[in-house]
Chains A and B, each alone.
Chain A
Amino acid sequence: MSLTTDLSQTAPRSTGKAAGKANRKHGRVADPQTEARTPRRRTRQRRERIFQWLFLVPAVVYMALFFGYPVVKNVVMSFQDYTTATFFTGEAPWVGFANYVTVLSSSLFSTSLLNTALFTIGSIIGQFAIGLALAIFFQRKFPLNGILRSLLLLPWLLPLIVSSAVWRWILDKDSGALNRFLGDLGIIDTGIPWLTSTSLALIAVVGVNIWIGIPFNLTILYGGLQEIPDELYEAGSLDGATGWRAFRHITWPMLRPVVSVVLVLGVVYTLKVLDIILGLTNGGPANSTQTIATQSYDLSFHEFKFGEGAALGNVLVIISLVFAVLYLRASRRAVDE
């Protein structure tokens, strides 16, 4: 806000423009110390800085409105009894930590927390292992490599709800392609209820999420592998480091910064996954695929307990932030190296 007042003060003052233009010929070569000495220079510099900020202002305002405000609002709401009645009366009484107590002590929370952990860990391990294996495979030179590799990106680019719909159909108990395939091979006699059994639904959902995440892991890890100089492998092979030993002693250490970024980004993205679970199982059957994200959605938009939904959302934010700190440290290292 102080920026706008600054601008209105400086804008009418257009003196020194010609001088500024003349000086600009020297551009950035000019010694900054002599620049700062003349007062006219200083005005020009200030104007310059305001102009530069103006390029950034829309983005800053936007980020504040669509990320800053929701986070703050969510914190406020989590301490209020915010329900549908609030929309009519405008009143949301303060309740202290009651929402947190209700949410965290409910029996569903431990289920959601466990499911979130299993969903995230399972997805990450699967995506990463298969993504890395494919990335290493595609390092080989062979015809059509580039085209085939980019076609592999398709599952990642499809709208998540489309993928959910397709998989829901493939995993259908009676007419799904997977059960028919297994049946044709003689592996099963009766259809497996992939999405409707409490013991299988989470596994199925993790499987679908792995499928979705492979292309992302493949792309970034492949990029990381390309950055490793060939000379290292040439030198390594002279010392007898080929195959597994080359991977262990050259590829893995060189890839580590990229690996940490991929893993942490993967965790942060997976923690907040909603589309896939809602599309495949809607959190069911019997909450067996309910995660913190889906439960927060349920609380706010099905039960209209916005305060409790906000409290649970904040729990998710805190978990994400822990990984965000890891991410920032990892990405700084990746840029440094």
Chain B
Amino acid sequence: MTTVLKASVRPPVRVKAPANNRKNWGYTALAIFFLAIMLFPVYWMVNASLQPNGTTLETSWLPLKPDFTGYATAISEQAGNLGTSLIISLGSVALSLAIAAPAAYALAYFKVRGAGVVLFAILISQMIPGIVVANALYTAYNDLGLLNSIPGLILADAAHGIPFAILIIRAFMNGMPASVIEAARVDGAGHVRAFWSIVIPLSRNSLITAGLFTFLFAWSDFLFALTLTTTEAVRPVTLGIFQYIGAYVNDWSSVMATAVLASIPAIVLLVAAQKYIAAGTTGGAVK
């Protein structure tokens, strides 16, 4: 957050004369070169997904004759899993925001006693390995009948999102003028009213950022899907991919097509929320 604010407040001292423009394009070329190396695997995924089946030994470097049979197979075999992932991710976003937003507000705005302890717990929670959580949840879920269930995975996946969402939203709300909320309270709005009709609309951007990240966390979740499901009943797409590559693969184009489909949320996030990402990472990590 601070990064963004400071950058916009600071006077534009750094703007250089257009004299060395040609040199600057050289840097652009170099940056594109770095980007090409870094994004080669992503390119290869898309390229391989468009190759005809059964030609794994001579996958061509360019998809000159795009073939969509990989996508046809991927959709026919993984559509259900993609749907499961979507439901779980949306549920996880709703649950995470419903729990994180009020908490972030309380931590940012009220001087709640014990707020320090809660923040400390949030930081520590991010250090706990997922396998430890999964280990304990498996036995508890077994007792509660939550194994192989969508609510079970939503609850577990929200555990990724909630601490992160609290940190991001709180970092934003810290910068919110207290006078606006005070004014609402003076006009007779209760805490809930003030929160719902003033704080939430004002924090929309941070809620969107947190929501998008929570979606991505839940969508990418692999560990909980792997440990908390034992049957085909509830199967997110990440687990679908894992089973593809776990077996001997002779149809990489379908696997890569599934991988491309599973990457769509990341691409959407990158395009739609690009400017919030930096704020999100620094807000979540450093603050």
Residues on A lying within 8 angstroms of B by beta carbon are 21, 24-25, 27-28, 49, 51-53, 55-56, 58-60, 62-63, 66-71, 73-74, 77, 82, 86-87, 134, 137-138, 140-145, 148-155, 157-170, 174-175, 177, 211, 214, 216, 219-220, 222-223, 226-227, 230, 258, 261-262, 265, 268, 271-272, 274-275, 278-279, 282, 293, 296-297, 300-301, 306, 309-310, 313-314, 316-317, 320-321, 323-324, 327-328, 331, 334-335
14 contacting pairs across A/B (C-beta < 8 A): A56-B106, A59-B166, A74-B135, A143-B25, A158-B42, A159-B262, A165-B241, A170-B41, A177-B44, A211-B41, A214-B38, A223-B3, A223-B278, A296-B135
A28: chain B residues at CB < 8 Å are 182
Q: Which residues in B have their C-beta under 8 angstroms from that of A58?
A: 98-99, 102-103
A169 touches B44 (CB 8 A): yes
A residues less than 8 Å from B172 (CB atoms): none
Known contacts being A62-B99, A272-B130, is A25 close to B135, with CB within 8 Å? no
Q: Please, how many angstroms separate the alpha-carbon atoms of A262 and B281 in the complex?
A: 11
Are A161 and B103 touching (Cβ within 8 A)?
A: no
Pair B129/A161 contact, Cβ less than 8 Å: no
Q: Shortest distance in angstroms between B103's beta carbon and chain A's nearest beta carbon?
A: 3
| Residues on the B chain within 8 Å of A60, using CB | 103, 118
Tell whether A317 pairs with B27 under 8 Å between CB atoms, given A151-B35, A161-B222: no
- Contact between A55 and B106, CB atoms less than 8 A apart: yes
Contact (Cβ within 8 A) B135 A219? no
CA A59 – CA B286 in complex, angstroms?
21
Question: Cβ of B30: which chain A residues have Cβ within 8 Å of it?
Answer: 137
Point out the residues of chain A lying under 8 angstroms from B241, CB to CB. 161-162, 165
Q: Name the B residues within 8 Å of A293 (CB-CB).
A: 129, 131
Least CB distance, A320 to chain B, in whole angstroms? 5
Asked whether, in the complex, the Cβ of A279 is within 8 Å of the Cβ of B245, the reply is yes
Contacts of B133 in A (CB 8 A): 66-67, 70
Give residues of chain B (250-279) contacting chain A, Cβ–Cβ below 8 Å. 252, 255-256, 259, 262-263, 266-267, 269-270, 274, 277-278
Instruction: Check B123 against A331 for contact (C-beta < 8 Å).
Output: yes
* A92 vs chain B, min Cβ distance (A): 9
Contact between B131 and A145, CB atoms less than 8 A apart: no
B132 contacts chain A at the CB level, 8 A cutoff: yes
Distance between Cα atoms of A68 and B118 in the complex (Å): 12
Q: Tally inter-chain residue pairs, CB-CB below 8 A.
A: 308
Residue with the highest number of chain B CB atoms closer than 10 Å, among A51, A56, A262: A56
Interface, chain B (partner A; CB < 8 A): 2-3, 6-7, 13-16, 24-28, 30-32, 34-35, 38-39, 41-42, 44-45, 48, 56-57, 59, 98-100, 102-103, 105-107, 110, 112-113, 115, 118, 120-140, 142, 155-156, 158-159, 162-163, 166, 182, 185-186, 188, 191, 195, 216, 219-220, 222-223, 226-227, 238, 241-242, 244-246, 249, 252, 255-256, 259, 262-263, 266-267, 269-270, 274, 277-278, 281-282, 285-287
Residues A56 and B2 in contact in the complex (CB < 8 Å), given A155-B38, A320-B127: no
In the complex, the answer to whether A227 meets B3 with C-beta atoms within 8 Å is: yes
CB pair A63 B245 closer than 8 Å: no
Contact B132 A316 (CB under 8 A): yes
| CB-based contact B135/A169 at 8 Å | no
Measured between C-beta atoms, what is the minimum distance from B41 to chain A in Å?
Answer: 5
Chain B: minimal CB distance from A313 (Å)? 4
Contact across chains for A87 and B142 when beta carbons are under 8 A apart:
yes
Find chain A residues with CB under 8 A from B25 CB: 142-143
B138:A300 contact, CB within 8 angstroms: yes
Report chain A residues within 8 Å CB of B126: 268
CA distance A140 to B21 in the complex (A): 12
| Most chain A beta-carbon contacts within 10 A, residue among B2, B30, B35 | B35
Min C-beta distance of B212 to chain A, whole Å:
10
Residues of B close to A144: CB separation below 8 A: 28, 31
- Point out the residues of chain B lying under 8 angstroms from A230, CB to CB: 13-14
